[in-house]
Amino acid sequence: MTIQLYHMKKLFIIANWKSNKTVKETEKWLHDFDDGVKGGKTRVGGKKVIVASSFVSLEHARYCMRNLKLSVESAAQDISPFDKGAYTGEVNGAQIKEFANYVIVGHSERRKNFGEDDDMVAKKIEMAMKHSLIPILCISNLDQVQSSRFKIQSYDNRIILAYEPLFAIGSGQADTPQNAESVAAKIKEIVNDTPVLYGGSVTSLNVNSFTKMPSIDGVLVGGASLNPLEFLEIVKNA
Ligand code: PEP
């Protein structure tokens, strides 16, 4: 008799709200999501569901998640490249760590609109690691993986990578699952054992075509995560 062992991967389903939602709207989203979870008896626990709200919502998001006993964790969307001190407007790793265990780093919108380069991204990864935050490092091509390779490996791969091709972000035009799989597999050749997510126009209708691919460990969802019931469908269908 042959016994087949199926290696079940734990999927990451991460919402990136970008610069959206007030504290009140954050509370409503979490309550609506929770109603959907409990109403549909959805098991969210089998997947790692993470919501990246804006800094001002992080504290209340954590309060609501605990109060509702929701199996959802928080991420910040950015981190200061410096520790505490005279850096007006920045939010440092120690401040984030009070409310979240994850932080998105190097999102293409930060590279494009705020001039972040690979050096800045490397400093942010370092700060995340220093404060025991798991970085979710966004990359839009393999060159960016190569340039962060040593940083990623020096942290024993305690990092999550999100492959987000520029043309797919916010465009409604997702990459093909085959191409995303091929890039994810190449990323894993460069940095072994690192979870690789796909991001770019993911919806409840296409999510499974990505998450069923062997090298893809989950999704990073922007626009479609703003609606709690659509995001819940994404979690269910992944
Ligand atoms: C993103 O910006 O990380 C993203 C994936 O956006 P969207 O899902 O809206 O394409």
Q: Which strand (E) or helix (H) includes residue 233?
A: helix 228-237
Secondary structure percentages of the chain, helix, strand, coil, to 5? 45, 15, 40
Half-sphere exposure (Cβ direction) of 98: Cα atoms closer than 13 Å: 11
Residue type, 50: I
Q: Rounded to an integer, what distance in angstroms lies between the CA atom of residue 42 and that of residue 232?
A: 9
Q: How many angstroms separate the alpha carbon of residue 86 from the centre of ligand 1?
A: 32
Question: For this structure, is 7 an active site residue?
Answer: no
Is the minimum distance from the CB of 222 to ligand 1 under 6 angstroms? Answer: yes
pLDDT category at 157 given cuts 50, 70, 90 is: low
Ligand 1 atom 4 nearest Cα: 222
204 lines ligand 1 (CB under 6 A): no
Query: Which secondary-structure segment (H or E) carries 49?
Result: strand 48-52
Which residues make Cβ contacts (< 8 Å) with residue 235, sequence separation at least 6?
A: 13, 42, 44, 47, 49
HSE toward the beta carbon, residue 193, CA cutoff 13 A: 6
Nearest CA to ligand 1 atom 2: 222
Return the percentage of the chain with pLDDT > 90, whole number: 82
- pLDDT, tens digit (0-9, with 9 covering 90-100), for 176-208: 999 999 999 999 998 887 899 999 999 999 999
Q: Which residue has the higher pLDDT, 148 or 126?
A: 126
Give the CA angle between residues 159, 165, 166 to the nearest 5°: 120
- Of 164, 175, 225, the residue with max ligand 1 atoms within 8 A of its CB, to mutate for a pocket test, comes to 164
- pLDDT (tens digit per residue) in 122-133: 999 999 999 999
Cβ contact 90:78 at 8 Å: no
Decide if pLDDT at 9 tops 90: no
Structure tokens at 180: 């995303």
What global pTM score does this model have? 0.94
Contact yes or no for 148/137 (Cβ under 8 A) = yes
Of ligand 1's atoms, which has the minimum distance to the CA of residue 164?
A: 5
Query: Each residue of 31-69: pLDDT tens digit?
Result: 999 999 988 777 776 899 999 999 999 999 999 999 999
Has residue 4 got a pLDDT over 60? no
Residue 172 CA to ligand 1 center (angstroms) comes to: 9
Element (H, E) at 186: helix 177-190
Residue 106, ligand 1, Cβ within 6 A: no
Catalytic (active site) residue 131: no
Tell me the C-alpha distance between 134 and 156, whole Å. 12
